[in-house]
């Protein structure tokens, strides 16, 4: 396996049992599905419901992913917490587990200036030995990493890239342009609708929530692009974009992703946040997944 973190990383769901506790057997099953499709693993992120996991659970999920992958693919773990201190504390535990890198969202709830974000990320990168990705997801945190801020932080030897989940081509291209002359700083695409475009314009990898549902379809965007089949990659993206649009009209991810997996026969349990699906909504999801081979 190359040290370069590239291709598809699945933002893997965190399965729960009927009592709402971690279901590690189901997590291992999902990791196996992803590995069979050629995907690496991103754990503890939005689709992994980090916001409702306690610290011990986050460590357990990460350890399970590392053990199950067994060095045959990349594992990146999200460690972002609301404060610098808490992020460092979690990061020091996670870095001991054998992950290839960690990612850190911006602090949330309190609006921060760019200089404060620089101080936050610099402190974390100084404190950890594991490589770090910035994680830009302003719709969830209320704080946006600006392209110039990413460029400044790219000078830190332990900050190796940024995951952009702002959801727009404008944001993604802004980061790509800002760091285009920095060889050891990568841009990872977050939105499933921009996977193909991201690769065409220079993203090294994508982190996909929809890959939980359609691992082979997502991987085909990357594998066709890598093989030089640009048109085939674009066509694969079109089918994925349609699925994404229709699924997320029913409910927000990760609840919609988990419900789809349940209806495909996988025991991933319910989301820990309050989402109820009507029979009509379930029917819509069933129709969507009927077009996907059970991978």
Burial of 5 (0-12, 13-18, 19+ CB in 10 A): buried
- As a whole number of angstroms, the distance between CA 120 and CA 219 comes to 34
Q: What's residue 275's pLDDT?
A: 79
Percent of the chain residues topping a pLDDT of 70 = 98
Q: What is the pLDDT of residue 26?
A: 98
Token output for 288: 């969507």
- Whether the per-residue pLDDT at 112 is higher than 60: the answer is yes
pLDDT confidence tier of residue 84, bands split at 50, 70 and 90? very high
Mean pLDDT computed over every residue of the chain: 95
Please provide the size of the chain in residues. Answer: 295
Integer Cα distance of 203 and 205 in angstroms: 6
Tell me if 207 is assigned to a ligand binding site: yes
Which tokens belong to 148?
């110039």
Cβ proximity of 282 and 264 under 8 Å: no
Residue 196 binned pLDDT confidence (cut-offs 50, 70, 90): very high
Contact 8, 38 (CB under 8 A): yes
From the candidates 58, 163, 216, 258, give the one annotated as an active-site residue. 163
pLDDT one-digit tens code per residue, 7-56: 999 999 999 999 999 999 999 999 999 999 999 999 999 999 999 999 99
Q: For 50-78, what is the mean pLDDT?
A: 97
* Active-site option among 96, 108, 121, 135: 135
Strands (E), the chain: 7-11, 40-43, 75-78, 101-105, 132-136, 159-164, 186-189, 205-208
Is position 135 annotated as part of the catalytic site?
yes
Asked whether the predicted pLDDT for residue 81 surpasses 70, the reply is: yes
**Where does the pLDDT of residue 276 fall: very low under 50, low under 70, confident under 90, or very high at 90 and above?**
confident
CA dihedral 103, 261, 254, 66 (to 10 degrees): -20
Question: 128-153: b or e for each residue (b if 16 or more CB lie within 10 Å)?
Answer: bebbbbbbbbbeebebbbebebbbbb
Going from N- to C-terminal start, the domains of the chain cover 7-242
**pLDDT value at position 253?**
79
Q: What is the mean pLDDT of residues 227-245?
A: 94
Q: Which CATH class is domain 7-242?
A: alpha beta
pTM to 2 decimal places: 0.96
pLDDT of the residue at 249: 87
Express each pLDDT in 243-255 by its tens digit.
898 998 888 778 9
């Amino acid at each position: 396996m190359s040290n370069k973190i590239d291709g598809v990383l699945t933002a893997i769901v965190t399965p729960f049992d009927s009592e709402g506790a971690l279901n590690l057997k189901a997590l291992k099953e999902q990791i196996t599905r992803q590995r069979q499709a050629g995907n690496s693993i991103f754990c503890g992120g939005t689709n992994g419901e980090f916001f409702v996991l306690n610290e011990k659970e986050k460590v357990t999920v990460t350890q399970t992913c590392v053990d199950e992958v067994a060095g045959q693919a990349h594992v990146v773990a999200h460690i972002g917490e609301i404060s610098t201190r808490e992020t460092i504390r979690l990061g020091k535990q996670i870095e001991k587990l054998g992950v290839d890198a960690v990612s850190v969202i911006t602090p949330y709830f309190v609006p921060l200036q760019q200089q404060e974000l620089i101080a936050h990320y610099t402190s974390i990168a100084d404190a950890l030995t594991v490589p770090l990705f910035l994680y830009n997801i302003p719709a969830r945190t209320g704080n946006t990493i600006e392209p110039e801020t990413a460029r400044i932080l790219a000078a830190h030897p332990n900050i190796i890239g940024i995951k952009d989940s702002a959801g727009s081509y404008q944001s993604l291209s802004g980061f790509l342009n800002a760091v285009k002359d920095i060889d050891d700083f990568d841009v990872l695409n977050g939105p499933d609708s921009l996977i193909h475009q991201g690769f065409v314009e220079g993203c090294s990898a994508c982190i996909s929530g929809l890959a939980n549902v359609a691992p082979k379809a997502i991987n085909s965007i990357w594998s066709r692009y890598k093989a030089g089949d640009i048109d085939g990659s674009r066509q694969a993206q079109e089918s994925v974009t349609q699925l994404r649009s229709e699924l997320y009209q029913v409910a927000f991810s990760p609840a919609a992703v988990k419900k789809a997996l349940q209806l495909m026969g996988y025991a991933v349990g319910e989301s820990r946040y309050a989402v109820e699906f009507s029979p009509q909504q379930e029917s819509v999801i069933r129709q969507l997944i009927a077009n996907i081979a059970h991978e």
